[in-house]
Structure 1
Amino acid sequence: MLDSTFNRVNPNAGTLPVRSLLIDLDGSLTAQPGMQRRLAGGSMTRIDARDLASSLRIVAGQGALSSLRERIADACPIADPIAHGPPPLIFYGSGDFHHLATLFLQALSGPVLVLHIDNHPDWTGWPATWNCGAWVNRALELPSVHRIVTVGPASDDFIRPQWAFANLEAIRQGRLEVHPWHAEPSRLWGRPVEGPGCATRAGRIVWQCLEGRSWDEVVDGFDARLPLLPLWVSLDKDALIPAEAVTNWDQGGLTLDAVLALVRRLAERRRILGMDVCGDYSRPVFSDPFRALLSATDRPRLAQPDPRTAAAINDTTNIRIMLAVDEMAAMGLWTS
């Protein structure tokens, strides 16, 4: 059944799959048939990191980060795509681990344009740790990162962003763009915030939201305006509608078709360095009160989904992502 589905939806079923990496932190990926197929076929490498998960979820400890960095370097040298095939496609489980995107970006030489697709801006400046709500700031500290373009947030992070230490200064400097799916005007104290995606009017940041706009026009606008730099894509599937992803966070209004259309268009004129994908479902389990408290105060109260239903929906979406990347590689859009 999986073979027939694979060939039916994959226009390039005879092409070699893009080399990919599965970082097994929470068990959310290894039971998915799409991942099993890639692992069995040899195009995907699995890194066992469940022993590090409790020290990486929500906030990353430095020791666990160093251990994971060593395991990735041994299994899949991200910084040497020419010698090791196409650029990597990385899956690593729950969005609780999204700050690991900075680890992948560290291995790249710049300047790099980062396309960040997420239901949350992940822009908080405090605490200044490697945590899932602040990883954008850690990435902006890297000399290789030229700009981060965040697309799709519809969370409550826009209500009083300064109270949550949002990095509005990076928007003023042109190093960060934020394009919400939906956001009401945000109360602002101090200097105006102006940039692509927002403007300050009467003491409020008015966001140019994506909801209801022609997606073709949105994609055209991004392609025409963004610099022609090598591109890294970081996708948290909580930006997607619930029919296409089941996560342990609140979710946005993007469709996967819209996301892939944007990536394809940008790839036509920019070299794709790689893509990391998180946002699979796993029940948050913590071994220390610090991470449990951070999770409880930041995460909305959501009904627990059926794990089998979550795995089936996420498997379908992950297969579509993998096949889309294979297709782009076959067309020469995903090249080293």
Structure 2
Amino acid sequence: MRLVIADIDGALPRQAPIASLITSGSAERIDLTDLAPSLRLVASKSAMREFLRRIGPRAASSDCEVFFYGSGDFHHLTAGLVSRVSEPLTILHFDNHPDWVRFPRTMNCGAWVNRALELPQVQKVVTIGPASDDLVRPQWKTANLRAIRDNRLEVHAWRAPPTKLWGKPLDAPGVATHDGRLVWRNLQDQDWATAFDDILARLPAGAVWVTIDKDVLGPEEAYTNWDQGAMPLALVLDALKRTAARRRIVGVDICGDYSKPKFRDPFRAFLSLTDRARVPEPGAQDMARNAWANDAILKTLGLLVGRSHDRATAVTEGGRQKGMEGGAPRSARSGTQAEAARTRAFPQSASLAAKAFAPPRPVKEEMRPI
């Protein structure tokens, strides 16, 4: 397990759980602060190349990589991180926004899903949790609905109202068309375990990369640079747990921390002013929520170290299963050894607070057609 704190905007090292991991040597801090102005919102080609150079190539082994990199203004870095993976994979994308706009065709935080779908190794992107108005009249906002029609993209809204659709009906996992309107199958109205297990069952064969933008969470669980959704953190953590139990996770990246935007050029400053509502600067309690959320994610990942990679031992080669010694898989050899490996990867992950997995209070809101 490689744990990287990609320090672009200074948001992460100030958090006690992150600072402790860096100090202990359990996490690798890479200083990228000089690249922030050229990566924020829209990445220049030269800045993206330099980002990938400093991150380094993916190790030859199949170990999982975990990256934290600050504000959701940098979410397009996911496409760069995934480009380093050579095997076929599916991206599980937790976000309050679908990040699917077709214009402009740049490496930007609102369009990175399309850049990822252009990579030959990416079979599919599955977006989970949006509740933003990006799902309202999406054609006006240059949404890539064609990717949904082509089964390259699934979007599963946390909550979204029915909305107008022009042209050919769209019927796919997560959405259907009725009387000229898109009707999203809202996750908040479904049994979570059944809905997410159905999503996992449809994934193409192969590895999984998980990307989490904490703006998918409600404001009581995170404070971000963007409008926020309402998906409970407990369900995001449960999704990690369920995915690791069924698939081999090769990478996880996490963004959605708050940092004050700073720009050197009027173009990015204009985008920041016009593309989102202004967010007040957070207080100490607001920032503490981000530290708590990141700590919960870290603890969950620590508990899952090696679990998803044990899935790889079931791959058959030449009539014999890889990882089988004396008829028993490596994962069954020693629970103590497996737990020791998890503790080495994340020393603070000895236990996960039960409240992190507590079922959320039901949220019921009347959704009116728009």
TM-score by length of 2: 0.81
DSSP-derived class of the 2:234 partner: helix
Q: Does 1:319 align with 2:302?
A: no
Please state how far the C-alpha of 1:291 moved relative to its aligned partner: 0.6
Which residue number corresponds to residue 181 of structure 1?
158
Please state how far the C-alpha of 1:221 moved relative to its aligned partner: 1.8
Distance (whole Å) between structure 1 residues aligned to residue 16 and residue 61 of structure 2? 27
DSSP-derived class of the 1:211 partner: helix
Alignment of 1:80-95 (within 5 A): 80-82=60-62, 86-95=63-72
DSSP-derived class of the 2:76 partner: helix
Q: Mean alpha-carbon deviation: is it higher for 134-143 or for 31-40?
A: 31-40
- Alpha-carbon contact 2:3-2:66 (below 8 Å) kept: yes
In structure 2, what residue type is equivalent to 1:95?
A: G
Q: Mean alpha-carbon deviation: is it higher for 201-210 or for 162-171?
A: 201-210
The partner residue of 2:111 within 134, 139, 142 is 134
Q: Does 1:115 align with 2:98?
A: no
Which residue number corresponds to residue 3 of structure 1?
none
Which residue number corresponds to residue 333 of structure 1?
308
The partner residue of 2:147 within 170, 180, 191 is 170
Deviations 1:282-303 (A, max 9, x none): 1112111111111111112333
Aligned residues: 311
Please state how far the C-alpha of 1:274 moved relative to its aligned partner: 1.1
Which residue number corresponds to residue 215 of structure 1?
192
Please state how far the C-alpha of 1:88 moved relative to its aligned partner: 1.1
The partner residue of 2:27 within 36, 44, 65 is 44
Distance (whole Å) between structure 1 residues aligned to residue 287 and residue 58 of structure 2? 27
Distance (whole Å) between structure 1 residues aligned to residue 150 and residue 34 of structure 2? 40
Q: Does 1:238 align with 2:215?
A: yes
DSSP-derived class of the 1:231 partner: strand
- Alpha-carbon contact 1:21-1:91 (below 8 Å) kept: yes
Deviations 1:173-230 (A, max 9, x none): 0000000111111211122222100011222111101113221222222233323421
Distance (whole Å) between structure 1 residues aligned to residue 106 and residue 170 of structure 2? 25
Distance (whole Å) between structure 2 residues aligned to residue 79 and residue 131 of structure 1? 26
Which residue number corresponds to residue 9 of structure 1?
none
Q: Does 1:71 align with 2:54?
A: yes
Deviations 1:25-79 (A, max 9, x none): 1100011111111111212111111110000000001111111111011xxx324
Alignment of 1:25-64 (within 5 A): 25-64=8-47
Alignment of 1:190-205 (within 5 A): 190-205=167-182
Please state how far the C-alpha of 1:236 moved relative to its aligned partner: 0.1
Distance (whole Å) between structure 2 residues aligned to residue 109 and residue 288 of structure 1? 35
Distance (whole Å) between structure 1 residues aligned to residue 2 and residue 197 of structure 2? 29
Please state how far the C-alpha of 1:334 moved relative to its aligned partner: 4.6
Distance (whole Å) between structure 2 residues aligned to residue 294 and residue 158 of structure 1? 20
- Alpha-carbon contact 2:123-2:204 (below 8 Å) kept: no
Please state how far the C-alpha of 1:242 moved relative to its aligned partner: 1.4
Which residue number corresponds to residue 323 of structure 2?
none
Larger RCO: 1 or 2 (CA < 8 Å, sep 6+): 1
Distance (whole Å) between structure 2 residues aligned to residue 174 and residue 102 of structure 1? 19
- Structure 2 regions of 5+ residues with no counterpart? 313-370
The partner residue of 1:286 within 263, 268, 286 is 263
In structure 1, what residue type is equivalent to 2:87?
A: G
In structure 2, what residue type is equivalent to 1:134?
A: A
Distance (whole Å) between structure 1 residues aligned to residue 61 and residue 289 of structure 2? 31
Distance (whole Å) between structure 1 residues aligned to residue 60 and residue 227 of structure 2? 36
In structure 2, what residue type is equivalent to 1:320?
A: A
In structure 2, relative to structure 1, the CA distance for the partners of 1:81 and 1:32 (3 Å cut) is farther
Distance (whole Å) between structure 1 residues aligned to residue 23 and residue 266 of structure 2? 39
Which residue number corresponds to residue 13 of structure 1?
none
Q: Does 1:310 align with 2:286?
A: yes
Please state how far the C-alpha of 1:104 moved relative to its aligned partner: 0.6
Structure 1 residue ranges, 4+ long, deviating more than 6 angstroms after superposition? none
- Between structure 1 and structure 2, the one with the greater Rg is 2
What's the RMSD between the two structures over aligned residues? 1.4
- Alpha-carbon contact 1:110-1:143 (below 8 Å) kept: no
Distance (whole Å) between structure 1 residues aligned to residue 110 and residue 244 of structure 2? 27
DSSP-derived class of the 2:188 partner: coil
Distance (whole Å) between structure 2 residues aligned to residue 249 and residue 305 of structure 1? 13
In structure 2, what residue type is equivalent to 1:94?
A: S
